[in-house]
Amino acid sequence: MTNKRNYSPETRTYASGFRKEIRDKRGTRKSFEQWFVGFTDGNGCFSVYANPLTQKINLTFKIDQKVINVQVLYYIKRELGVGKVTKPDKQGMCKYVIRDKKLIEKHILPIFENNELKTKKYNNYLRFKKALEIWNDDTLNQTEKVERIYLDKVPSVSRVLAPLSDNWIVGFTEAEGFFYLTLKDKNKISHGFGITQLQDKHLLEEIRWRFTFKAKIRPNNKGWQVETTNWYSIRRLKTFFHKRLKGRMSLIYRIWARSMRHRGKFHKLLKVKNMIKKLRK
């Protein structure tokens, strides 16, 4: 049985440093699924639509990304073998979308059954899954199905979560994290890393602990955020994310990581800082 624990400073039971775990090789199906769930926890959406007037039912799984990062959506499509990547909308956003009920059952649900979501999106997933069960219930007519899905309210589930897997952290970071350089004073530029989360502050606490961030989690306009410029933590992050990121962030990470050799060289780091700033837009 897997040991589980709450994400709370008072209940930490592991020794300092990286948690020892049995990893499967990078690039296997298991590592993709864990990455995919982490990315979904950051940017995914489970949409349930039931209209009593039109008698229509629609279930949609989707992930939104800026057009500059559309490559990560094509990566997901290639790995899953199904779905559609939309053209950019007026806001410059693309979507990876699956609406087909059978494809959702075959390709999406098994992943989230075997790799649990960590954020409050887990409750959205439960409603999504329940709606699919109702839709498939042959003992109900269409009116009854629509009414039950429309009125269904899945209560929030209180859970004890397993520790975050490495691949989940990579996926979640790809959705919610950022690598950057920052001006400390007129003669010093430091490497930094940050990650945000709307509601699930406890996840940032876990990540903060895993990478020994000294900075505290603080509120921002997107919910919560934790950042670090601590050199010891930055070096650990560099090692951890090496050859693991999938989308545009992999390019930003490589530039960020390689620039560490110029630590203390203000003018070289200033050029890198401006380059990364442009890439992040």
Q: Assess contact for 31 and 24: CB atoms under 8 A.
A: yes
CA distances 140 to 103, 143, 147, Å, are: 22, 8, 10
Rounded Cα distance, 115 and 37, in Å: 7
Q: Could you tell me the residue ranges of all domains in the chain?
A: 25-151, 166-279
Q: Which of 39-43, 55-59, 220-224 has the lowest mean pLDDT?
A: 220-224
CATH of domain 166-279: 3.10.28.10
In sign, the C-alpha dihedral spanning 74, 62, 43, 2 is: negative
- Indicate if 166-279 has the same CATH topology as 25-151: yes
Task: Supply φ then ψ for residue 167, to 5 degrees.
Answer: -65, -35
Tell me the per-residue pLDDT of 127-149, one tens digit each, with 9 for 90 and over.
999 999 999 999 999 999 999 99
Average pLDDT over residues 152-180: 89
Task: Supply φ then ψ for residue 266, to 5 degrees.
Answer: -55, -55
Confidence of residue 281 (pLDDT cuts 50, 70, 90): confident
| CATH of region 25-151, choose from 3.20.20.120, 3.40.50.10420, 3.10.28.10, 3.30.390.10 | 3.10.28.10
Whole-structure pTM value = 0.87
* Strand ranges (E), 86-148: 93-98
**45 pLDDT above the threshold of 50:** yes
pLDDT for the residue numbered 220: 87
Rounded Cα distance, 244 and 246, in Å: 7
Tell me the per-residue pLDDT of 3-18, one tens digit each, with 9 for 90 and over.
443 333 333 332 333 3
**122 pLDDT above the threshold of 90:** yes
